[in-house]
Amino acid sequence: LLARLDTLIAQYGYTNLGLAVAAVPLSIILLTVLFQLLFPGDPTHPPVVLHWLPIIGSAIEYGNDPIAFFRKCQEKYGNVFTFILLGRKVTVALGPKGNNFILGGRHSQMNAEDAYCHFTTPVFGKDVVYDVPNYVFMEQKRFIKSGLTTENFRAYVKMMEEEICSFIENDSAFRIYQLSDERGEWGQFHPLNTISEITILTASRTLQGKEIRASLDKTFAQRYADLDGGFRPLNFMFPNLPLESYRKRDKAHKAMSDFYREMIRKRRARKSFSDDDSHDMIAALLTQKYKDGHQIPEHEVAHIMIALLMAGQHTSAATGTWALLRIAEHPEIGAALYNEQIEHFGIGEPGVFRTASYEELRALPLLDAVIRETLRLHSPIHSIFRKVTQDVPVPRSLSSPRSTVASRPYIVPKGHYVLACAAVSQRDPKIWPNADKWDPYRWLEKDGVAAQAYKAYEDVNGEKVDYGFGAVSKGTDSPYQPFGAGRHRCIGEQFAYLQLGMLISTIIRKLELRLDIPFPEVNYHTLIVLPKDPCNISYRRRWEA
Ligand code: HEM
């Protein structure tokens, strides 16, 4: 090869050869653009976003900042457009009507299992979630719901409080320990690392069960990390590559599945539950049966538990991280949250509080508003996909005013993916005053935009729909949908509110927070929307602590 190169250089010279090499990618770009301009495609289909490279399409722009990319496309093409994502055609529908089109879409026309199964089954395991027909998954959601009861949540409050307090007292993240006469010294902690640990501790102590909590310090943590390494955007794009991370994912899945199955066998053999495991999810799943009367097989219980671990961990940890970053950025909100705690749970002695009841915790207006506002600006999931299995017409009200076929609705053809991005409507300046500002007080205005959006999300006074896991609010055309909507709506919402509420209130009782760095930038390269480093929060133990 080198000899051949040498001959070519001798023949044409360095400059000419360099030009020839550069001409190849330039010609590809030119041809790709020319092709799109000369053959704009079927006018009955949504417009395709102009891109420079074949196959890669708009993957780089979308991957770097999906929200900015969608907003730019919205300006140019309207609310419905298609972009190329590594060879896939993805049609985006924006705004509340776009959310409704996709999340409220008919299951026979677009579905989640064909969009996600390749990605989730190696991690969760066989025969659950997207690896089964949708009606079976809806039954599995019903089983999960049976474990997420108010009665269980009441028992979780104390458990979570103990875990969080013990973490703040003992973990090296909070090693700067101010005594009352050393108030000047501020420590720092990395919220993402810290909150991720607290999230897994609180989830395992409550939902996952005492056996998982006890193994967290040992092999389970490594298995979880390896499994998690297989839950990245790369895995979404390429389900199987000959890479170490894929091998580790498969090994970790097998080990974890075996671990849960052993635990289930032991529990089944015992036939009764003790006080400290009667409130966890395994206890609930073991009492459930499919409509045809058969028990949930052991491997399915194990795989549902893995699915719940993965579904709840990053979403809650990311939201908790963003919430603390925002509170640290706004110390006046931190002070107001602290006062809310004193007002409701202070017992008259400085720094001493009683444990809240579940109902009391959920009725704290500012705490609730902080969580809602954080989810509005920092929804952990920015893109929700479905695969189109039948040509589907786009409602006329959604078609772009620039459409050349205004009289006919667009058709999204079979084989496309559709994508809903509530994050765009959640910060749309046409809907929300000061849309980009983090302002929890907007949720306390009785008839404000936020209250209206929430009513639409909860379908207050509206119909509830039963997709097979009990009646739920449809909420598909609300501009605020951090937990999705329709048949795939999150069932962990109330648990997440409890977990986040306990996290924020316990930390606020003990620590003052402040941000000594610019507010962190957003990292969209991870599956879940996370802050980029540096993102340290400065803390100081409260005078009374
Ligand atoms: C579904 C967000 C916490 C379990 C979803 C969806 C979203 C979401 C957007 C819809 C996905 C889709 O339509 O494709 C969140 C957020 C959370 C959170 C923002 C925390 C702040 C949890 C927790 C659990 C959980 C703690 C478990 C205890 C589920 C399940 C589904 C779901 C089982 C149903 C998936 C489906 O039907 O396809 N979540 N989630 N989530 N989530 Fe959550």
Average pLDDT of the chain to the nearest whole number: 91
Residue 160, CA distances (Å) to 74, 490, 540 in order: 43, 21, 22
Predicted pLDDT at 13: 67
205 conformational bin, left if phi > 0, alpha if psi -120 to 50, beta if neither:
alpha
State percent of the chain over pLDDT 90.
Answer: 75
Predicted pLDDT at 545: 46
d(CA 252, CA 379): 28
Rounded to 5 degrees, φ, ψ at 52 are: -95, -30
Q: Is 380 in the pocket of ligand 1 (CB under 6 A)?
A: yes
- What pLDDT, in 10s, does the model give residues 298-325? 999 999 999 999 999 999 999 999 999 9
pLDDT band at 292 (very low <50, low <70, confident <90, very high): very high
Amino acid occupying residue 434: N
Structure tokens at 428: 């749309």
pLDDT tops 70 at residue 401:
no
Q: Is 308 in the pocket of ligand 1 (CB under 6 A)?
A: yes
316 CA distance to ligand 1 middle (Å): 10
Nearest to 159, CA basis, from 502, 496, 492, 500: 502
Question: Which atom of ligand 1 lies nearest, measured to the CA of 144?
Answer: 33
- What pLDDT, in 10s, does the model give residues 170-220? 998 888 766 555 566 789 999 999 999 999 999 999 999 988 998 887 678
> Whose Cα sits closest to atom 36 in ligand 1?
488
d(CA 539, CA 174): 9
d(CA 499, CA 160): 7
CA gyration radius, the chain: 26
Kindly report the pTM of this predicted structure: 0.93
DSSP string, 174-239: G-----GGGTT--EEE-HHHHHHHHHHHHHIIIII-HHHHHHTTTHHHHHHHHHHTTSSHHHHH-S
Predicted pLDDT at 371: 98
48 CA distance to ligand 1 middle (Å): 30
Structure tokens at 438: 């983090």
527 CA distance to ligand 1 middle (Å): 14
Nearest to 458, CA basis, from 467, 445, 471, 441: 471
Residues 6+ apart with CB under 8 A from 352: 346, 544
Q: Is 364 in the pocket of ligand 1 (CB under 6 A)?
A: no
Query: What does the pLDDT average to over 75-91?
Result: 95
